Amino acid sequence: MRVWWIAFALGVVVLQRQAALPGAGGWTGGAAVLAGCGALLGWSARRRRTRAIVALRWMLCASAACAIGFGYAAARAEWRLRDSLPVEREGRDIVVTGVIRGLPVIDDTGARLLFAVESNDAGLARFPPVIRLSWRTYGAADARDTIPDLRAAQRWRLVVRLKRPHAEANPGVRDSEAAWLAAGIRAIGYVVAPERAELLDACASGWRASIDRLRDALRTRIGDALGGGARHRGIVTALAVGDQSGIGDDDWRVLRNTGTSHLVAISGLHVGLVGAIAAAIVSMVWRRLRWRGRAAALVMPAPYVASLAALTAAAGYAALAGFNVPAQRAWWMIAAGAAAYLAGRSVPTSAVLCAALGGVLLADPWAVLSAGFWLSFGAVAVILMAVAGWRAVRAFDGDDSAPDGAAAVDRRRRLRAWCTRAGRRIAEATRVQYAVTIGLAPLTAAWFAQISVSGPFGNAFAIPWVSSVVTPIVLAGIGLPAPLDACAFRLAHAALEPMMVLLGHLADWPAGVFWLRMPDWPVLALACVGVVWALMPRGWPLRWAAPMTWLPLVAPAPDAPPPGGFRLTVLDVGQGAAVLVETARRTLLFDAGPGAESTHAGTRIVAPSLRARGIRTVDSLVLSHADADHAGGAEAVYAAAEVRQLLAGIAPQHRLWRDAQAAGVADRLPCTAGQRWTWDGVAFTMLWPPRVAGAGPSNERSCVLRIDAGGTSALLTGDIEARAERRLVAGSRDALAAQILVVPHHGSRTSSVEPFLDSVGPRVAVFPVGYRNRFGHPHRTVLARYEARGIPLPRTDCDGAVRFDVAPAGGGFAFERYRDAQRRYWMDR
């Protein structure tokens, strides 16, 4: 069974790495593989049982399971993609009736919610069953004052404007399109006319609606009990109902840096804990219960009843978590273990884990696209490997009790035995923590580009504290009536405070987090092999050499351009701009993308992109001008990396200068035409604005930067418009020539005049624009000017991030589009 489910999972993983779903030829090939495996299995069944025949059978079973996993995931994906919003319906007003699913998130910018559609007026027989909506009102200081009281499982009739699930696509950044596909979200949009929204009287029914209402009610009870001033209210809510939206940025920073963020989700640890508590209570009661004069344990053995109680309680708590992947994994393990116990079979824990693996992937084949899947199953697998050699030690512990007979009972000997057992238990726990830290290091590096050095220390006290103290108190609060529930929630919050203080000190430890470049898959695979090797029992050949396999992970080979060349990446930040320029030893970031006042692209995209590249120092940050879509993400950049210099085309009294000073940027200068410097053989020249820029619009003061290396030039233009372009042509025509052009002002109608394009003469022009942006960029007339030149015109909304590799000494350049290089079947174009 273990080989079957592992091979099935491998097939699912392979499908999720495909650029396109299989066509008729693929399905025919899969059927042929299954038929061939069946025929060979039938032939081998008639042969004499030898080692070769047994090995062949295992290989055939694994191949068949892999093909079935691939086909199953492909069929599920094909069916789900059919629910996508048709292209011709994008941007149109549609009246939908449906139910709020899950917990709506409401903050000072508006509300975000999932909406299960029941009917629509678009006349579509196959409409997206679940859509993601934003509900915003403009003109209010706090949107919460004007948005209605949105509750889970309410039925509404809304006017919405939708688009296909299209997200930004960048290397090293979370794939939101994959997450939407896994959640069944096949359209996203916003409520067009909030005043026309109609709350319907009929409430939703069914088990899902009942669970959502319960979760919403519990969240409200916790909020009322703790009030708005409770700093860790979001953590208490997360432990109760799995809603992490209320956790503050400071708490997230502490939890991430100390490797304890898994504790604030209803994870497998918590689900297993609830199951164990329920089993213990029910078993204790059942052993003392009598029915018709007979002991209840004689009617049905107490362990059987305890198994069913554990399964039921774990299912209820997993439902409160929204059935996230770690909670599913824990429930399936409990279910498999309970089924084996009720059937009277002894099943290895590894087989239970593999059965849980199959159950999770049968329910959700897209689970492999989430970090929670790999970290949850990886942690359990590592723990099983780490404790595999402890059976002898535990058996020895069992013989450590004092001898029978009153004469043999000696206090000193009993104390010594107790201390010995306690020491062994602490050693076991330490080994588990060491194993989990080492075992998950490659996965955390692959998903988050970091390894938490302080994680073992933080988890050493945080795991038992949250599991033994905080979570049971939260569970008590869920079950107690008012006002006792409020007392329990306040007590849980009080118990969190000292733990968060200690974790805060660990998070501030400069060496607490080891940042590294996001590894390529060969490096990751080698590190995982090294982990398995290191966790083998003592005496395993060359076990001492296992850490050598981690060297490419922790000390990767240089990936910087050669001296005299540079790499330029136009990041896909939606409607905004951020361009990363790397030389052999230096880094420049031209604009930082939108900030918190818009799409949070600085936090969501720019900062993770820097971390994924292993960039901890930005030698120069250039903010072309003060518009939020270019400079809004600066604060996120300051938090993610050390910025040594700021060059900006902004007014002297603008707050961005003060923000840079507060962030510790020592060198702060305005952009001025004529500024020049050279890094690693690459020349940088500022062409605009002039020394006396005047008081015109901020776009006219945008910095324009030229980069030269080996006969290839790139021109970064910010948001300059026709007037600045003509002045540049008049004063710096010869300096404008460049092979690579980042199009001015996203291709707006008031930019990219013909004389400017003639002077630049680009061979590639990149449009940094957002998908279906409200400005209509790029304008069709401007796009026609570029198309008339017959050059490649990559666009970030269609192609994702665009990367240029410029070779030194006349070697030319090459470029790639992220959506082509890392194509997946769910990616929208």
Angular region, 510: left φ>0, alpha ψ -120 to 50, beta rest: alpha
Place of tokens 């009610």: 217
CA–CA dist 335, 343 (Å, integer) = 12
Looking at residue 402, what is its pLDDT? 47
Which letter does DSSP use for residue 289 in this model? -
Going by the DSSP 8-state scheme, the letter that residue 187 receives in this structure is E
Q: CA dist 772 to 87, 187, 594, 775, 798, Å?
A: 12, 14, 16, 8, 10
Spans of all domains in the chain? 2-81, 87-205, 370-398+413-453+519-555, 566-821
Q: What share of the chain is helix, strand, coil (3-state, %, to 5)?
A: 50, 15, 35
Q: Which two tokens stand for residue 83?
A: 């629910």
State how far the Cα of 597 lies from the Cα of 602, in Å rounded to an integer: 11
Looking at the DSSP bridge assignments, the partners of residue 114 are 101, 132
Quickly tell me which residue has 């707006």 as its tokens: 748
543 DSSP assignment: G
Residue with tokens 């029910």: 282
Burial class (CB in 10 A: 0-12, 13-18, 19+), 582: buried
Residue type, 791: I
Buried b (16+ CB within 10 A) or exposed e, 282-307: bbeebeeeeeeeeebbeeeebeebbb
Residues 15-42 have pLDDT tens digits of 999 999 999 999 999 999 999 998 988 8
**Alpha-carbon distances of 665 from 627, 644, 662, 691, rounded to whole Å:** 20, 5, 8, 23
The architecture of the domain spanning 87-205 is: Beta Barrel (2.40)
How many degrees, rounded to 5, is the angle at CA 549 between CA 545 and CA 552?
A: 145
pLDDT for the residue numbered 87: 92
What is the pLDDT at residue 349?
87
- Interstrand relation of 704-709 and 682-688 (parallel, antiparallel or unpaired): antiparallel
Classified as helix, coil or strand, 811 is coil
Bridge partners, residue 294, by sequence: 291
- C-alpha 371/C-alpha 448 separation (Å) is 9
User: Measuring CA to CA, which residue among 652, 686, 689, 692 is closest to residue 668?
Assistant: 652
pLDDT at 32: 92
DSSP state, 262? G
Residue 545: the pLDDT is 87
Residues of the chain scoring pLDDT < 70? 137-145, 389-409, 692-696, 829
Residue by residue, what is the 3-state secondary structure of 294-332? EEHHHHCCHHHHHHHHHHHHHHHHHHHCCCCHHHHHHHH
* Helix H or strand E segment including 277: helix 268-288
User: Measured over all CA atoms, what is the biggest interatomic distance in the chain, rounded to whole angstroms?
Assistant: 107
Task: Say what the pLDDT of residue 647 is.
Answer: 97
What per-residue confidence (pLDDT) applies to 393? 43
d(CA 455, CA 537): 24
Whole-number Cα distances in Å, 735 to 596, 684, 692, 751: 36, 12, 20, 19
How far apart CA 431 and CA 413 sit, in angstroms, is 27
From CA 466, how far away is CA 462, in angstroms rounded? 6
Q: Give the number of other CB atoms < 10 A from CB of residue 69.
A: 26
Which class does domain 566-821 fall in?
alpha beta
* CA separation for the pair 121, 106 (Å, rounded): 27
The yes-or-no answer to whether 87-205 and 566-821 have a common fold is no
The pLDDT of residue 395 is 46
Residues of 795-804 as b/e, b for ≥16 C-beta within 10 angstroms? bbbbbbbbbb
Paired sense of beta strands 676-679 and 130-135, if any:
unpaired
